[in-house]
Amino acid sequence: MHVQIFGIKKSSDTRKAQRFFSERRIEVHFVDLKVRPASKGELRRFAQKFGVEALLDRNGHRFQDLGLQHAQLSEDRWLEKLVEEPMLLRLPLVRFENRVTVGVAEDVWKEWVKG
């Protein structure tokens, strides 16, 4: 089993995901979004399952700092904004094969591990 985690090293939720999989000796490929932002196509994969709104961390500091609370953007424009500003994402984004999760989703991850 091999999972891919998109996140930021300083994010406690990202660290929770890394710890969850490492405790179960599951190989993790970590993508630090501050070093290498996710592509629009990659984010679209998550948005297709959960919707763009689920990807947005509306309570995050960066969201407030940019004044996006009342922004009404198209789905495509939100994806572009998320590529430019990864701190707007609800983290972590986790992918296993063709399955994905947004945020901490230990119940789902446990199902993957049982697999």
Question: pTM for the complete prediction?
Answer: 0.91
Which neighbouring-strand residues pair with 95?
Answer: 4, 100
- Quick one: pLDDT at residue 1? 85
Q: What angle do CA 2, 60, 46 make, to 5 degrees?
A: 35
- Quick one: pLDDT at residue 18? 97
- Quick one: pLDDT at residue 35? 94
Q: Which of 19, 12, 7, 24 minimizes the C-alpha distance to 86?
A: 7
- Quick one: pLDDT at residue 69? 83
Which of these CATH numbers, 3.40.30.10, 2.40.30.10, 3.30.365.10, 3.10.180.10, describes 2-114? 3.40.30.10
- Low-confidence stretches of the chain (pLDDT < 50) are none
Which neighbouring-strand residues pair with 28?
Answer: 3
Amino acid 63 reads F
